[in-house]
Amino acid sequence: MILSKMHPSLIIVSRLPPPVRTDIMGLKQMMEKLGVPKTHLDVKKMIVEVTGGSSNTINYRDFVRMMLGKRSAVLKLVLVFEDKANGAASTPGGPPPKRDISSLP
């Protein structure tokens, strides 16, 4: 997978199915595996920042947004890739419409 080579956090999290939610300790362990150890309070602050304080857990997409940033081009590619992996088609299916000479530029 090309995208997992772009950011190490995707390698670790890609082993989990997308609906899995990770708690504070799970996120702390993931950050340690990434080589960026965080204290318990730092991890709590990260989760509150991403979820807005509504939850003590974080899901896959929230984790990717946190690691890559909301406006990241890599994030957009990851989300497109994940949607395609889940079966969501971004392009219309079926054969292309019939064309004639008058429709050509």
For the stretch 28-74, pLDDT in tens is 888 888 787 888 898 888 888 888 888 888 887 787 777 777 666 76
Q: Distance between terminal CA atoms of the chain? A: 39
pLDDT on residue 102 = 85
Size of the chain in residues: 105
Q: Which domains occur in the chain, in start order?
A: 2-86 (1.10.238)
Provide the 3-class DSSP secondary structure of residue 67: helix
How do residues 5-39 score in pLDDT, each as one tens digit? 445 555 545 555 555 788 888 888 888 887 878 88
Please state, for a pLDDT cut of 90, what percent of the chain lies above it.
1
d(CA 8, CA 67) in angstroms, rounded, equals 10
Type of residue at 2: I
Residue 28 backbone phi and psi in degrees, to 5: -65, -40
